[in-house]
């Protein structure tokens, strides 16, 4: 007899022949539920025939008496309408494979994608037994790990003893999966009774005894082994008695209360252990479980391995750890270098993009722990070192796993860590500052200069200059340049004057700042000077040429109608001027393959501000939004987005990021954004040593002495942003304004003072209630011999001094013994100490 359910798409059907059995899974069954992919459902498997269908019909609020009135002999999915809008909806698995030979499926319904799998192991058993075993084991080994309750209706299956035989066969096989025991399915056996009361505890004891006896008698286990196996397969087994003469509503309510209690308990366990799967992951794991069941049901399924991409393996982990260990200078690097490095590698390997986020300790124990222990035990000698390393690894895994939870997916988390890889070798591999110091060798160019002959990852030759790192004890120097269209020539004039004043020290201005940020036209300036390494004069010439090519004035011979037509087109396309000249300038300079991934060898961070078109929130090229991750942008694309107003240039659509407009629409003065970014990049040095802002004003604060503002007053008003003809006037005014020595001398002095820093030569010691430290005062500016001579003369003529322990000491005094000319590395080699 064909069931009324056959007009719906089943999840699983089974067909048998003389020699084999075939299981088919239909992907459409999950899609037909209409639930969002992020929903984390509770699965309840209902196993039976007529009584099961009556209860299920009540659960589904179906008033049609013909619905599910006939047997169908297959597996269906039904959603609970009452909970379908909840984050944790209930899905009933209508399981009727028990007791039937072939599933009754009408193929003309059109089930969609169908995956057929032959069950290889059925040939080892005679026909009837193989079919019964297939139905019994498929329930526990495919649905068991994913469901919360296996609900058997004993009256439909031949009584309590038959159900006991099903459970005994399931518990006699190998453990189903490597999931924690706390999320094993619970078994509820519904027993119909004519008595007014039913002792469920006695029924449960009778059932457990029957299951154990069958396992001892038919499968050759001892009673202790039988009980242990039951505990490895089921969280608990209980019998629920319902009165046979009661109404369907009364019986269904009794069963539902028990299922709800179990579901709430299981939800807490799954959330605590990180095994709450969404719809997408449940469907994927079900396919893998079915594949494993059809090939060999005696093997334990590994969710840890199943969540990894095809071909991913960790067989060589021990070897790789030992290779890294041999490259470490000493065992001390085990804890502050190898430990976090290994934790991050394990986390990214254990949680590939798109995978479920299990609790970090479980995949580590399942996949990596034994190999990590083997590598550590083979590399280290002291037992205390081994134990300390493994103990220190756990907090790093937990910390990184918490960071992972803050991201939308694992791919986003993986990309968000790339901002730490700030130095790019010639081969394209990128390293963080820690790896630069660890694997590079000191360059004669300075104490914080590190060179590479070959890439430590691939062995390719490194052809670039040494990497210059910011000294750990040095302060941060910030430059902020405002936007303003053609008025961008004003900060260029100011910077040209500063560069001229620094010329005698033979130090380019691009080496005087650690973080630079520009908005609109200011962004062109910072990209040109600090990323493309133009001099200020070259940048000034480029700026004037770009402005003349971009802002073409109206032709005098143009008719009024032609001008109105051009204005109408500008309104419709949302921009007035073409950015072709800007694009060509940066494309010709950068080429096609150079990207804005900090390709410079210096440690200067270059930020270009913009705002998202859909949200009035400012962004920078070095955004640290935890939800955004890292996205690769070509430098010329960042330059293309330089616009003066959304009415002048069209917005730019950056792939994978969205549509962006000029940052000047929200933050024309980017200093506040620059300071915010500095606090995120250098948390221990949140207050910069010096901050130079060129453009509009800056708020007064307690630290105002560290901030410098260069601005040009315009009492007659400001010219339009696109008036190229008026560009000469701001240039000449800025040139006259900056000639005042007092306006620039403070900036020059602050830049020179911030270039000095204290470098310890040994760890500070605690003596008599205070720390005593010794070290060298060094200069960060990469000067030539002539430049050092000029700096020495300048320090002497200005009577410059250092403040040490509250005492003022001349920079070139005998007590400091400064010798700027004897070393290409440091500006002074004086020892300092705290008074005893």
Q: Is 514 helix (H, G, I), strand (E, B) or coil?
A: coil
Distance between CA atoms of residues 226 and 337, nearest Å = 48
427-485 confidence digits (pLDDT tens): 878 888 888 888 888 888 778 889 998 888 888 888 778 888 888 889 999 999 987 76
pLDDT at 631: 42
* Three state DSSP letters for 319-387: HHHHHHHHHCCCCCHHHHHHHHHHHHHHHHHHCCCCCCCCCCHHHHHHHHHHHHHHHHHHHCCCHHHHH
Catalytic choice (80, 433, 482, 662): 662
**Of 132-146, 342-356, 361-375, 615-629, where does mean pLDDT reach its minimum?**
615-629
Domains of the chain: 10-283 (3.40.50.300), 316-419 (no CATH), 423-468 (no CATH), 476-552+584-616+632-753 (3.40.1090.10), 756-821 (no CATH)
Q: What pLDDT is recorded for position 187?
A: 96
Taken in order 42, 48, 54, 57, the sign of the CA dihedral is positive
Question: Cα separation of 198 and 251, whole Å?
Answer: 14
Instruction: Report whether 314 contacts 371 (CB < 8 A).
Output: yes
What tokens appear for 426 in the block? 């010639």
- Indicate if the pLDDT at residue 776 is higher than 80: yes
> pTM of the predicted model, to two decimals?
0.56
Q: Are 56 and 148 in contact (CB under 8 A)?
A: no
- Residue ranges with strand state E in 497-608: 515-518, 605-608
Q: Is 693 a catalytic residue?
A: no
Residues whose CB falls within 8 Å of the CB of residue 344, separated by 6 or more in sequence, listed in order: 396, 400, 417
Cα torsion 374, 380, 382, 386: sign: negative
Mean pLDDT for all residues in the chain: 76
Tell me, what's the pLDDT at 366? 80
**E strands, 489-642, in order:** 515-518, 605-608, 610-612, 618-619
What are 1-45's pLDDT values in tens digits?
A: 444 444 578 899 888 777 778 888 888 888 888 888 889 999 999
Whole-number percent of the chain with pLDDT over 70 = 73
> Is 662 marked active-site?
yes
Residue owning tokens 């942008």: 633
Residue-wise pLDDT tens digits, 164-182: 999 999 999 999 998 889 9
Nearest residue to 551 (alpha-carbon basis) of 489, 637, 496? 489
- What does the alpha-carbon distance between residue 421 and residue 630 come to, in Å, rounded to a whole number? 11
Candidates 520, 618, 750, 830; catalytic one: 520
Question: Is residue 310 predicted with pLDDT exceeding 70?
Answer: no
Which of the pair, 737 or 105, is modelled with greater confidence?
Answer: 737
Helix (H, G, I), strand (E, B) or coil at 611: strand
Cβ density class 690-725: b for 16+ within 10 Å, e for less: bbbbbbeebeeeeeeebbbbbbbeeeeeebebbbbe
d(CA 309, CA 557): 66
Phi, psi for 473 (deg, rounded to 5): -100, 5
Render pLDDT for 635-656 as a digit per residue (tens, 0 to 9).
Answer: 444 444 443 333 344 555 555 5
* Residue pLDDT, tens place only, 67-124: 665 677 889 999 988 888 888 899 999 998 876 544 444 443 445 667 788 887 776 6
Tokens of 220: 């050759």
**Taking residues 261-288, what's their average pLDDT?**
89
Half-sphere exposure of 302 (CA within 13 A, CB side): 11
Q: What is the reported pLDDT for 629? A: 38
Segment 383-407 mean pLDDT: 83
Between 34 and 666, residue with greater pLDDT: 34
DSSP tag of 688: -
Query: Any residues with CB less than 8 A from the CB of 194 and at least 6 apart, and which?
Result: 243, 244, 245
Give the start-end residues of each E strand in 399-488. 423-424, 430-431, 441-442, 449-451, 467-468, 477-481
The pLDDT of residue 587 is above 60 = no
219 Cβ contact list (under 8 Å, min separation 6): 168, 172
């Amino acid at each position: 007899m064909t069931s009324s359910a056959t007009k719906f798409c089943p999840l699983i059907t089974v067909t048998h022949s003389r020699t084999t059995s075939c299981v088919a899974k239909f992907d459409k069954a999950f899609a037909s539920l209409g639930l969002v992919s992020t929903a984390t459902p509770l699965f309840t498997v209902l196993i039976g025939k007529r009584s099961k269908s009556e209860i299920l019909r009540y659960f589904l609020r179906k008033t049609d008496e013909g619905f599910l009135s006939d047997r169908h002999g297959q597996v269906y999915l039904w959603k609970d309408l009452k909970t379908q809008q909840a984050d944790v909806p209930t899905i009933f698995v209508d399981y009727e494979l028990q007791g039937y030979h072939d599933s009754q499926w009408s193929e003309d319904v059109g089930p969609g994608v169908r995956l057929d799998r032959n069950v290889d192991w059925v040939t080892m058993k005679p026909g009837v037994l193989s079919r019964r075993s297939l139905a019994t084991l498929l329930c526990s080994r495919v649905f068991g790990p994913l469901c919360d309750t296996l609900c058997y209706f004993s009256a439909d299956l031949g009584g309590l003893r038959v159900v006991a035989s099903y459970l005994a066969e399931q518990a006699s096989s190998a453990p189903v999966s490597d999931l924690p025991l706390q999320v094993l399915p619970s078994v509820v056996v519904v027993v119909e009774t004519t008595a007014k009361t039913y002792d469920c505890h006695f029924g449960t004891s009778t059932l457990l005894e029957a299951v154990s006896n069958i396992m001892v008698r038919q499968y050759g286990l001892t009673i202790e082994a039988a009980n242990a196996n039951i505990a490895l397969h089921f969280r608990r087994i209980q019998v629920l008695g319902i009165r046979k003469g009661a109404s369907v509503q009364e019986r269904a309510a009794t069963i539902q209360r028990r299922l709800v209690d179990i579901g709430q308990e299981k939800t807490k366990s799954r959330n605590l252990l990180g095994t709450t799967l969404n719809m997408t992951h449940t469907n994927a794991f079900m396919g893998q479980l079915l594949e494993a069941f059809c090939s060999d049901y005696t093997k334990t399924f590994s969710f840890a391995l199943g969540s990894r991409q095809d071909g991913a393996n960790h067989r060589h982990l021990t070897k790789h750890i030992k290779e890294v260990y041999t490259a470490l200078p000493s065992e001390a690097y085990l804890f502050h270098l190898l430990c976090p490095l290994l934790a991050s590698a394990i986390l990214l390997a254990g949680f590939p993009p798109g995978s479920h986020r299990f609790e970090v300790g479980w995949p580590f124990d399942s996949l990596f722990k034994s190999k990590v222990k083997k590598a550590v035990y083979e590399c280290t000698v002291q037992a205390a070192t081994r134990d300390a390393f493994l103990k220190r690894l756990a907090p790093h895994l937990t910390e990184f796993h918490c960071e992972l939870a803050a991201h939308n997916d694992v791919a986003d988390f993986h990309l968000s860590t790339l901002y730490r890889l700030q130095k790019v070798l010639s081969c394209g591999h990128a390293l963080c500052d820690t790896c630069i110091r660890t694997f590079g060798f000191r360059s004669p160019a300075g104490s914080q200069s590190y060179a590479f002959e070959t890439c430590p990852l691939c062995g390719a030759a490194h052809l670039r200059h040494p990497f210059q790192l910011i000294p750990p004890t040095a302060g941060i120097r910030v430059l902020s340049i405002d936007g303003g269209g053609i008025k961008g020539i004003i900060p260029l004039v100011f910077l040209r004057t500063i560069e001229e004043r620094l010329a005698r020290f033979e130090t380019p201005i691009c080496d005087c700042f650690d973080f630079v940020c520009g908005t609109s036209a200011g962004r062109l300036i910072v990209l040109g000077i600090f990323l493309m390494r133009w001099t200020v004069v070259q940048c000034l010439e480029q700026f004037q040429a770009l402005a003349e090519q971009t802002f073409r004035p109206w032709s005098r011979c143009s008719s009024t109608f032609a001008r109105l037509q051009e204005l109408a087109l500008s309104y419709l396309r949302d921009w007035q001027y073409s950015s072709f000249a800007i694009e060509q300038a940066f494309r010709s300079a950068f080429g096609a393959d150079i990207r804005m991934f900090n390709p410079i060898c210096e440690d200067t961070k270059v930020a270009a501000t913009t705002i998202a078109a859909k949200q009035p929130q400012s962004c920078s090229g070095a955004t640290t939004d935890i939800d955004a991750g890292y996205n690769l942008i070509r430098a010329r694309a960042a330059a293309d987005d330089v616009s003066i107003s959304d009415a002048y240039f069209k917005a730019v659509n950056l792939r994978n990021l969205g549509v962006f407009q000029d940052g000047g629409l929200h933050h024309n003065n980017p200093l506040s954004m620059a300071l915010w970014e500095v606090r995120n990049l250098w948390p221990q040095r949140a207050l910069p040593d010096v901050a130079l802002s060129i453009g509009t004003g800056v708020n007064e604060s307690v630290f105002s002495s560290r901030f410098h503002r260069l601005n040009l007053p315009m009492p007659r008003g400001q010219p339009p942003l696109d008036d190229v003809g008026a560009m000469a006037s701001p240039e000449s005014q800025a040139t006259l304004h900056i000639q005042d020595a007092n306006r620039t001398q403070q900036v020059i002095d602050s830049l020179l003072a911030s270039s000095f820093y204290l470098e310890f030569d040994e760890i500070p010691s605690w003596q008599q209630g205070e720390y005593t430290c010794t070290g060298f005062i060094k200069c960060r500016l990469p000067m030539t011999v002539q430049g050092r001579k000029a700096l020495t003369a300048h320090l002497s003529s200005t009577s410059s001094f250092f403040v040490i322990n509250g005492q003022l000491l001349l920079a070139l005094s005998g007590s400091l013994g400064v010798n700027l000319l004897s070393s290409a590395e440091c500006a002074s080699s004086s020892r300092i100490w705290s008074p005893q």
